[in-house]
C-alpha cells in the first residue's frame, strides 16, 4: 500500500484545475454521535443555499445515508470498483437534487486498488466535478485505514462530538492521530446534542484545553446543534429533519452551519422556543 495516496492525488490533480469541487469529510472519534444525520441535513441546508451537493456514504458498516433519505440503494461503489457500473448508474438522487453515492463494503476497496482500477475510479469520480460543488463524505467513526485516507484527501474535516465525556476522550484520540496523518487539513468542530449554547462552548473549551499541547491553530468551532427530540422522530420516519421539521431547533443550527460552510456568516440561532418561547421573551421585555 506504499503510495496509494500519492497516486490518487496525482491522478486527481489532473482533474483539479478544470473545476473545483470542495470535499468535506465528516468524522468522529466515537460512533453514534450523529454524523450521518448531520451530513444528510447539512447537504439539505447547503442545497437550500443553491449548492450542488453529493454525499458519499463512506461508512463501512451499515449503509445509512440512503436510509436516512428513505431511499434504497440498488448498486454501491462496489459495482463501480468492479467496473460493472458507472458513477452515473450508482448515483441516487435525493431531495433538492442531492446526489448520494452508496458506499457499502466497497468503500474499503477504494483504499486498496490496483493501478488500473484506480484510474477507472478516478475517471468516474472525476465526472462528479461537473455535477456538484461539494462532495460530503460520511466517513464512519474511528481510525480505520480507509477513514484516514478520506480525511487526508479532504479539503476540510468536520469532526462531530457530543458533550459526553467519552465522546470527548475519543475526539482527543482522533485529533492526536489526525495531526500526524493529516496535519495540513483544517479541522472544524461541530458539537452535537447540546442543551444550551453555554453547554456547547464549555465542551469546546474542554477539547481545546486538552489538545492545545499538541495541536496548533488548525482547530476551530464551526457550530453546534441542539439536542432535539424531533431528530429522533425524523430518523424513525426516514425523512430528513430538514424536510420533516424544517423549523426545528436542530435544523436551524445546521442551516446556520451551512451558511458558514458556504461563506455566508449568520449569527448563531437560539433554541427554538415556538410560540411559547416567543411569548415569554416578549412578555419579559415589558
Ligand atoms: N441533534 C440531535 N438531537 C437528538 N438526537 C440526535 C441528534 N443527532 C443525532 N441524534 C440521534 O442519534 C442517533 C445516531 O445518529 P447517527 O446515526 O447520525 O450517528 P452516527 O454518528 O452516524 O452513527 P454511526 O457512528 O453508527 O454511523 C440518531 O438516530 C438520532 O436518534
Ligand atoms: Mg453514521
Ligand 1 pocket check for 252: Cβ under 6 Å: no
Q: Which of 30, 33, 37 to mutate to test the pocket of ligand 1 (most atoms within 8 A of CB)?
A: 37
* Measured distance CA(63)–CA(80) in Å, rounded: 16
| Distance (Å, whole) CA 131 – CA 269 | 31
Which residues have C-beta within 8 Å of that of residue 63, sequence separation ≥ 6? 57, 73, 76, 102, 103, 104
Helix/strand/coil (H/E/C) assignment for every residue in the chain: CCCHHHHHHHHHHHHHCCCCCEEEEEECCCCCCCHHHHHHHHHHHHHHCCCCEEEEECCCCCCCHHHHCCCCCCCCHHHHHCCCCCHHHHCEECHHHCEEECCCCHHHHHCCCCHHHHHHHHHHHHCHHHHCCEEEEECCCCCCHHHHHHHHHCCEEEEEECCCHHHHHHHHHHHHHHHHHCCCCCEEEEEEEECCHHHHHHHHHHHHHHHCCCCCCCEEEEEEEECCHHHHHHHHHCCCHHHHCCCCHHHHHHHHHHHHHCCCCCCCCCCCCHHHHHHHHHHHCC
- What is the CA(31)–ligand 1 centre distance, in A? 9
The domains found in the chain, sorted by start residue, are: 4-284 (3.40.50.300)
Can you give the pLDDT at residue 112?
A: 65
| Ligand 1 atom with minimal separation from the 193 CA | 1
Per-residue pLDDT of the chain (286 residues; tens, 9 = 90+): 445 556 555 555 544 444 578 889 899 998 899 999 999 999 999 999 999 999 989 876 666 899 899 998 889 888 888 889 999 999 999 999 999 999 876 666 666 667 677 677 777 877 888 889 898 989 877 767 777 777 887 888 999 999 998 888 888 888 888 888 877 788 899 999 999 999 999 999 999 888 887 766 568 899 999 999 999 999 999 999 999 999 999 999 999 999 999 875 444 555 555 455 454 544 554 3
- Rounded CA-CA distance 253/192 in Å is 10
Residue 225: CB within 6 Å of ligand 1? yes
Other Cβ atoms closer than 10 A to 282: 9
The answer, yes or no, to whether any atom of ligand 1 lies below 6 A from the CB of 183, is no
pLDDT at residue 3 in the model: 55
CA dihedral 228, 56, 31, 253 (to 10 degrees): -20
C-alpha 276 to ligand 2 mean position (Å): 34
Pocket test for ligand 1, best of 231, 242, 255 (most atoms within 8 A of CB): 231
Q: Is 23 in the pocket of ligand 1 (CB under 6 A)?
A: no
Q: Is the distance from the beta carbon of residue 36 to the nearest atom of ligand 1 less than 6 Å?
A: yes
Cβ 147 under 6 angstroms from ligand 1: no
Q: Bridge partners of 250?
A: none
- Nearest residue by C-alpha to atom 15 in ligand 1: 34
Q: What's the confidence (pLDDT) of residue 91?
A: 95
- Answer whether 37 contacts ligand 1 (Cβ < 6 A): yes
So what's the pLDDT on residue 238? Answer: 93
Pocket of ligand 1 contains residue 237 by CB under 6 Å: no
Q: Are 143 and 13 in contact (CB under 8 A)?
A: no
Amino acid at each position: 500500500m506504499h503510495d496509494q495516496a500519492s497516486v490518487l492525488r496525482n491522478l486527481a490533480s489532473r482533474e483539479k484545475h478544470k473545476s473545483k469541487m470542495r470535499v468535506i469529510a465528516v468524522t468522529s472519534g466515537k460512533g453514534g454521535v450523529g454524523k450521518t444525520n448531520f451530513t444528510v441535513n447539512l447537504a439539505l441546508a447547503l442545497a437550500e443555499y443553491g449548492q450542488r451537493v453529493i454525499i458519499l456514504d463512506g461508512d463501512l458498516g451499515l449503509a445509512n445515508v440512503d436510509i436516512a433519505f428513505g431511499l434504497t440503494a440498488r448498486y454501491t461503489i462496489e459495482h463501480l470498483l468492479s467496473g460493472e457500473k458507472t458513477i452515473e448508474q450508482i448515483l441516487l438522487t435525493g431531495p433538492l437534487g442531492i446526489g448520494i453515492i452508496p458506499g457499502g463494503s466497497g468503500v474499503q476497496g477504494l483504499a486498496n486498488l490496483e493501478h488500473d482500477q484506480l484510474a477507472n475510479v478516478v475517471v468516474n469520480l472525476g465526472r462528479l466535478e461537473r455535477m456538484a460543488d461539494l462532495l460530503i463524505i460520511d466517513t464512519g467513526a474511528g481510525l480505520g485505514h480507509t477513514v484516514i485516507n478520506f480525511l487526508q484527501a479532504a479539503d476540510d474535516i468536520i469532526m462531530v462530538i457530543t458533550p459526553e465525556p467519552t465522546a470527548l476522550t475519543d475526539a482527543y484520540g482522533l485529533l492526536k492521530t489526525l495531526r500526524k496523518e493529516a496535519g495540513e487539513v483544517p479541522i472544524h468542530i461541530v458539537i452535537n446534542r447540546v442543551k444550551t449554547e453555554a453547554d456547547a462552548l464549555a465542551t469546546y473549551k474542554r477539547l481545546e484545553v486538552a489538545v492545545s499541547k499538541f495541536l496548533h491553530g488548525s482547530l476551530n468551532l464551526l457550530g453546534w446543534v441542539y439536542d432535539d427530540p424531533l431528530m429522533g422522530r425524523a430518523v424513525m420516519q426516514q425523512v430528513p429533519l430538514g424536510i420533516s421539521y424544517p423549523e426545528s431547533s436542530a435544523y436551524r443550527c445546521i442551516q446556520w452551519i451551512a451558511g458558514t460552510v458556504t461563506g455566508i456568516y449568520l449569527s448563531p440561532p437560539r433554541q427554538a422556543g415556538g410560540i411559547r418561547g416567543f411569548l415569554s421573551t416578549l412578555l419579559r421585555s415589558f
